[in-house]
Structure 1
Amino acid sequence: MESKKNDSNDKNHQQHHREEEDLEQEQEGDQEEEEENNEILKKRISNHPLYGLMVETHLECLKVGDISNLDTALKIDHQMQTMNKQNLGMFSHSELDLFMEAYCMALGQLKVAMEEPQQKSMAFINNMHSQLRDLTMATMPAPDESAADATSSSECKSRRNSTS
């Protein structure tokens, strides 16, 4: 009786193990299919006529406040413009076209939104510099007066020392 239970348990275990293996293989197949679909989508996006504009707009967003990678960005920008000119003849209105147009517009709006606080900050800083310059100019004596004051001050000191 016990051997029948063991055989039954072994069969159940083997069947359960096979089901797990089948499930894993199915998941691996789904992952491979998803990766293949992602690669196809990446190729479609990179060959799209608006891809150059999208990359250019993205780079413009990255440039806001950061000029460290400007040379690299300009090289990529030139390459994208060349590629964009080559792809203009392949334009058709599909879901990808609509997505690319919307994404480029969103990136443009993001750039404007990022630049606005920076421009306000620069205006504030420039205003503060101007006010500081005005304050320091008003409190500093004119160059002719300061030289005359220094001379008369040293004369007064020397007179005091000689009379004492």
Structure 2
Amino acid sequence: MDGTYGLHSTVADYSDKALMSPEDLILQSEYQSLLSSETLRLRIPILGSEELLSEAASIRTEEDMSALIKAKIASHPCYPRLLEAYIDCQKVGAPPGIACFLDEIRRENDLFKQDAVSTYWGADPELDEFMETYCDLLVKYKSDLERPFDEATTFLNKIEMQLRNLCTGASIRSISDEGAPSSDEELSGGELDMHEAQPSGEDRELKDKLLRRFGSHIGTLKLEFSKKKKKGKLPKEARQTLLGWWDAHYKWPYPTVCISLSP
């Protein structure tokens, strides 16, 4: 049966191959070197290996070129000026915390540049022109950023001052109404000066401090003053008589000769 199906020859061949001598075996180190050899790579091609190697080489070349350009820029004499102009642009309108953080970055860079090696001007004319042009652009960009920000800040300060003046004027009028003189006295010059109703920044700050410190006492005094009797006014009939006389004699409010000579 074995002969019929050809099993003798197959088993014999397998036994001959299985019983190889130790000299014919490949060591592990030799196997690794064989796998990494250029001959094996060429004899056993990997699908897409050439494209992958080419792409990896191009990426590595671009990274090396970018690192080289960065190193040239960082070692250029204009780099501190460039960094300062960039930080100034970032500080326009930034909150105080961000501004302090940017100043700290600038100080750290100044300490780092003390130990760094800088190139000399003229070593790379193209880079020199680029650095100088870019610094000028950043300076102009900062001025363009500051203009609308300063205008907005000025507008807000103006509106805030107007609101404060309105509140201050209202409080002054309320106090003056409580201890106000009569209407005749107001006509004789009891009006407020508009310049006094618009205090300066220092006066306003002082007033706020005084109000915070003595506000309760001022409220108590106002209550006491409101309980006191106000200044007496002329009766209504007397006021009407005086107003009628004024209407009749406002052109010449002086006594005539006859009236002055009469006993």
Map residues 85-104 of structure 1 onto 2, 5 A cutoff: 90-92=120-122, 94-104=125-135
Q: Which residue of 2 aligns with 1:105?
A: 136
Q: Which residue of 2 aligns with 1:12?
A: none
- 1:112 and 1:124 mapped to 2: Cα distance? 18
TM-score (norm 1): 0.69
Q: Radius of gyration: which is bigger?
A: 2
Cα deviations across residues 123-144 of structure 1 (Å, max 9, x unaligned)?
A: 1011111211222233223585
Map residues 125-140 of structure 1 onto 2, 5 A cutoff: 125-140=156-171
- Counterpart contact for 1:48–1:87, Cα < 8 Å: no
User: What is the aligned-residue identity percentage?
Assistant: 23
| Aligned residues: CA RMSD | 3.1
More helix as a share of residues = 1
In structure 2, runs of 5+ residues without a counterpart are 1-44, 181-222, 230-263
Q: Which residue of 2 aligns with 1:73?
A: 102
Q: Which residue of 2 aligns with 1:31?
A: 59
Q: Which residue of 2 aligns with 1:42?
A: 70
Comparing 136-145 with 110-119, greater Cα deviation is found at: 136-145
- Counterpart contact for 1:54–1:103, Cα < 8 Å: yes
2:88 to 54, 60, 64: 60
Q: Which residue of 2 aligns with 1:120?
A: 151
- 1:30 and 1:132 mapped to 2: Cα distance? 65
Equivalent residue letter for 1:68: G
Cα–Cα, structure 1 residues 53 and 152, in superposed 2: closer, same or farther, change >3 Å? closer
- Counterpart contact for 2:89–2:142, Cα < 8 Å: yes
Equivalent residue letter for 1:22: E
- 2:225 and 2:77 mapped to 1: Cα distance? 78
Cα–Cα, structure 1 residues 50 and 59, in superposed 2: closer, same or farther, change >3 Å? same
- Counterpart contact for 1:49–1:87, Cα < 8 Å: no
- Counterpart contact for 1:56–1:80, Cα < 8 Å: no
TM-score (norm 2): 0.45
Count of aligned pairs: 140
- 1:69 and 1:141 mapped to 2: Cα distance? 41
- Residue 96 of structure 1: SS of its match in structure 2? helix
- Counterpart contact for 1:58–1:107, Cα < 8 Å: yes
- Residue 140 of structure 1: SS of its match in structure 2? helix
- 1:138 and 1:97 mapped to 2: Cα distance? 61
Cα–Cα, structure 1 residues 113 and 87, in superposed 2: closer, same or farther, change >3 Å? farther
- Residue 128 of structure 2: SS of its match in structure 1? helix
Cα deviations across residues 96-142 of structure 1 (Å, max 9, x unaligned)?
A: 11111111111111111111111001110111112112222332235
Cα deviations across residues 61-119 of structure 1 (Å, max 9, x unaligned)?
A: 111112213344334434555638x8777111511111111111111111111111110
In structure 1, runs of 5+ residues without a counterpart are 1-16, 157-164
Equivalent residue letter for 2:98: N
The structure with higher relative contact order (CA 8 Å, sep 6+) is: 1
